[in-house]
Chains A and B, each alone.
Chain A
Amino acid sequence: MISKGAKWIGWTGVLMLVIVFLLALIGPYVVRHDAEKQTGMPFQPPGAEHWLGTNDMGQDIMAELVVGARTSLTIGIAAALLATLIGTAIGLVSGYSGGWVDSLLMRIVDICLTLPFLPLMIVIGVYMGPSLITQVMVITLVMWAGKARKIRAQTLSLRSRGAVLAAQSMGAGHFYILWKHIFPSMLPLVIPQFVQAVNVSIMMESSLSFLGMGDPLSKSWGSMLFYANSRSAFLTEAWMWWVIPPGLCIVITVLAFSFIGYCLEERVNPRLRAYQAASLKGAKSAVKAALPGTSTADLLAVESLFVRYPKENSTMTAVDDVSFVIKKGEVLGLVGESGSGKSTVAAAVMQLLKPPAMVEQMGIHFADRDLSRLSPVEMRQIRGNRIALIPQAAMNALNPVMSVREQLAEAILSHRKAGKQEIQERIDQVLMQVGLTPRWGAAFPHELSGGMRQRAVIAMALINEPELVIADEPTTGLDVKVQVEIIKLLKDLQQRLNLSMIFISHDLPVVLSLADRVVIMNQGKIVDQGQTLTVAHHSTHPYTRRLIDSIPRIRTARPLQEQR
């Protein structure tokens, strides 16, 4: 799926391209003059005879534009095609074969990319003599290397992908893998590369021609401007019709390809789609009629929470009428398999859901306030201060260019003013609490192991002494030993600091050991909830039973009763 904006850009590009192609294809049949012959007086202004006037030689400018369109498109497309073909071939070979072939080809590519391309083109062009072929060759020469590098990167990632490995393990040969698996996946990536190459090479062609390096026998937009410039078109009124039209033609053609290229690129490059700006339509959460008088003994009360995502023509309900409460000092376990919507609940409580998510609720009451009705500023003051989140992806949750200490200090300073001394003391204190010696504060995230990073993230959540901590799968991606340490740490901190906590996990035994109460979710709905022990031993709900029964135990003779 691509954004509406990109689609708009893409279609505008197509429209402009159609205009340029029409000019090149049917132009000669419409414009009656021969571009090479003197058909009027010099410097004739636009009129009925010469639609765009004439140049200093009395040649018809409209006719020149038509010829130029053919030259520019021919050179642009030919050079782009060649460069893309060579680049793709080299990139495929380099990325697929690896080893010394790869190293050698990539060194050559690096060298080509470092050479200054415009002077290189000029120098080579001068020695080879100006001609259409020279232009295509020099443009190809400077463009293939960049394409080769991009295609190689793609090949590398495709080569290690499961489908290719699978074929390889079945005994498939290189040709089969390249032809059946790598090339088809590569095609959608090669096409935008080609389109972008066309716009670059048309630009290069016009620059070369403008410098007088073009083929003197075939007119192009660049060479028209070269003559206009060298014969001082500015001294007469003629520049209006002599300089502007060819320039506009170049802009429209280059822009057409770059618009289409951008649109195609966005389609295949997930990077460009990762983020959506806040507060687009549908993003604001809608509040259903709130019930008056919620019980004030509850720290957090979520009432009838719905989260929907648009999906093709309908919507997908990720969280479906979820309500629960947490009392002070209580640990609530939220259990479910992947796709059950448990993490979405956490994000909804924190008011962190971004479009295209659509949120609806009766209310999310926290300490007598309805979080869903707070302004962004008020909510920001609560986030990380009174409700803290320990997110799922601990490995990447720390900013790689800031030290741990800087990031911890930011967490404090986001919520209150504090002196340097006070901040450092608090940081040392909280680092010790999570079992890191304070000297690790000076480290950058990449210098820490996975377990240490997760401790730093926990420290960040605890630093402002929040009333509620939401731990969202805090041990995903960690080694078994480290998982045990982190869970022990959380358990210990919860008891020592008397934290209220929502513990989200797919791992039922872990949740059973930590939580006072559990909520079990399946496909966005709460299917079962109650006191931990009651649920563990007496739940008759089939889904709950299935979850409990499907837990493989290391030692069989350990029925659940013994564990607590």
Chain B
Amino acid sequence: MDGSWFSSTFGKKLIQYVLVLAVALSINFALPRLAPGDPLEFFFGESTINELTPEQRQRALHELGLDRSVWEQYADFMTGVFHFDLGSSIKYGKPVTEVLADRLPWTVLLVAPSLIISAVIGIVIGAYAAWNRGKRRDLFFLSAMLTVESIPGFWIGMLLIAIFSVNLGWLPSFGAVPLAFTGGTAEYVGEIITHMILPVITITLSTVGGNFLLTRSSMLETLGQDYVYMAESKGASKRSLIFNHALRNALLPVYTHITMSLGILVSGAVVVESVFSYPGIGRLLYESVIARDYPMMQGVFLIITLGVIAANLLADVTYPLFDPRSRSRAWSREVSSSKQIGEETA
């Protein structure tokens, strides 16, 4: 890999991610201290602090370091974070990190399949609509997708529950597994899948519109490119025109978008998980907001930020696999220095 390329492009991105993390942490640090009201409330919850004696209060302030200078507190906070110490959850009485570890897998279980299904549908229909631009079919899919995109995810979820759970009674509407479960592994997996269906449909529907629109506009652009005209003039088949030339180039921005939305989806799951009472980290955030469990809330925010950064990194690292222009090869420098020679050998 070219050293200068690495240091400039990728290095800049890394710095950006570190900064994002720092900003997220600083927001976490600053909010309970800046927000109006008693800061202790943000650490212990309202009910506890009302019963504190003045001495206990002092001790609590001291233990939390709230009586020290802001910079000392900030340093302490950062040290804590790097030792994976995010404090204790008020509601669960367990370390925040432990609760997060319990909940994260469930969110991934919902988000990953939704993302794949939504990407496939969005890309296929988007490419189809672009190829048929201006015809009835294009207009139909365009307005349908804009409509789907305008439906709030929680409302889709509520309607699905009303129809498939309450009225038809086909699918469960609550949680990830039955509350009391006795049965073998196969049944257990079966239960997990039936519980996934409605939330996955909901997330898919609320993301498919974006994938469609991006694919369509990206494809419209590549279809107008000179290389597609050249391919047509060399007699390439319609299939090759669409797939090898137009779509392959059109997918580059779509790929980045989808990979990056992996992180954003995790946060989008807040709404859907709340509707379905699904025990992922989105629901966890919602619960901790309701319970005013501030340490938990901050922990979730942090883990989601990490997720977004990880998704961005994944996009950055894998993008060159699909776009040769961002691959730096030893000989491309050779070419640029020997362009004249290359022409003269001709």
Contacts and interface: CB of A to CB of B under 8 A. Distances in A.
Consider the complex of A and B and state whether they touch directly, i.e. have CB atoms less than 8 Å apart: yes
Interface of A: 3-5, 8-9, 12, 107, 110-111, 114-120, 122-124, 126-129, 199, 203, 206-207, 210-213, 222, 225, 228-229, 234-235, 239, 243-244, 247, 250-251, 254-255, 258-259, 262, 271-277, 280, 350, 352, 380-385, 388-389, 391, 393, 396-403, 407, 410-411, 414-415, 434-437, 440, 443-444, 446-449, 451-452, 455, 457, 460-461, 482, 485, 489
B313 to A, nearest CB: 11
Contacts of B149: 258
A447 B342 CA distance: 12
Point out which of A244, A400, A415 has the most chain B C-beta atoms below 10 A from its C-beta: A400
Contact of B36 (A129, A203, A350): A129
Nearest to B322: A401
B24 A380 contact: no
A410 B236 contact: yes
Contacts of A243: 155, 158-159, 162
B229 A127 contact: no
Interface string B284-310: 011001101000011011001101110
Nearest to B339: A449
Given A247-B152, A397-B226, 20 more contacts: A12-B143, A119-B267, A123-B297, A127-B31, A229-B275, A250-B155, A350-B233, A382-B235, A383-B235, A389-B233, A393-B226, A399-B231, A402-B248, A407-B231, A414-B234, A415-B235, A443-B332, A443-B335, A447-B332, A485-B346
B74 interface: no
Contacts of A210: 152, 154, 271, 274
Given A123-B31, A262-B146, A211 B227 contact: no
B35 A225 contact: no
Contacts of A9: 139, 142-143, 146
Given A210-B152, A211-B270, A388 B134 contact: no
Nearest to B249: A401
B23 interface: yes
A251 B142 contact: no
Contact of B232 (A110, A272, A352): A352
Given A115-B20, A401-B249, A277 B159 contact: no
A142 to B, nearest CB: 11
Contacts of B235: 380-385, 411, 414-415
A8 B139 contact: yes
Contact of B230 (A3, A120, A385, A398): A398
Interface of B: 16-17, 19-20, 23-24, 27-28, 31-32, 34-36, 42, 130-135, 138-139, 142-143, 146-147, 149-155, 158-159, 161-162, 165-166, 173, 217, 220-221, 223-227, 229-237, 240, 244-245, 248-249, 252, 263-264, 266-268, 270-271, 274-275, 285-286, 289-290, 292, 297-298, 300-301, 304-305, 307-309, 312, 322-325, 329, 331-332, 335, 339, 342-343, 345-346
